[in-house]
């Protein structure tokens, strides 16, 4: 069985990615303005895609 070596900075970025997702979900639930809510949903999808890619490949890509 092989283990992946992951740098500390990558783990921190993933950790903060999970925190961003949780915060975005709360903000979306609280937001009443449709255009703002749509923007938050779009950013949530982007962040979730990054985390899904990390789970699949072990690489966390940020813009």
pLDDT along the chain (63 residues), means of 10: 68 93 97 97 97 90 74
What is the predicted pLDDT for the residue at 1?
47
Distance CA 14, CA 20 (A): 10
Distance CA 44, CA 51 (A): 11
What is the predicted pLDDT for the residue at 58?
85
pTM for the predicted model, two decimal places:
0.81
Token reading at 34: 């449709």
What is the predicted pLDDT for the residue at 8?
83
Neighbours of 57 (CB within 10 A): 9
What is the predicted pLDDT for the residue at 3?
52
Give me the DSSP letters along 4-43. Answer: ----HHHHHHHHHHHHHHHHHHHHHHH---HHHHHHHHHH
């Amino acid at each position: 069985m092989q283990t992946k070596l992951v740098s500390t900075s990558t783990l921190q970025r993933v950790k903060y990615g999970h925190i961003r997702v949780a915060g975005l979900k709360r903000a979306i639930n609280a937001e009443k303005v449709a255009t703002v809510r749509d923007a938050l949903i779009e950013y949530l999808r982007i962040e979730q895609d990054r985390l899904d890619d990390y789970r699949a490949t072990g690489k966390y890509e940020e813009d």
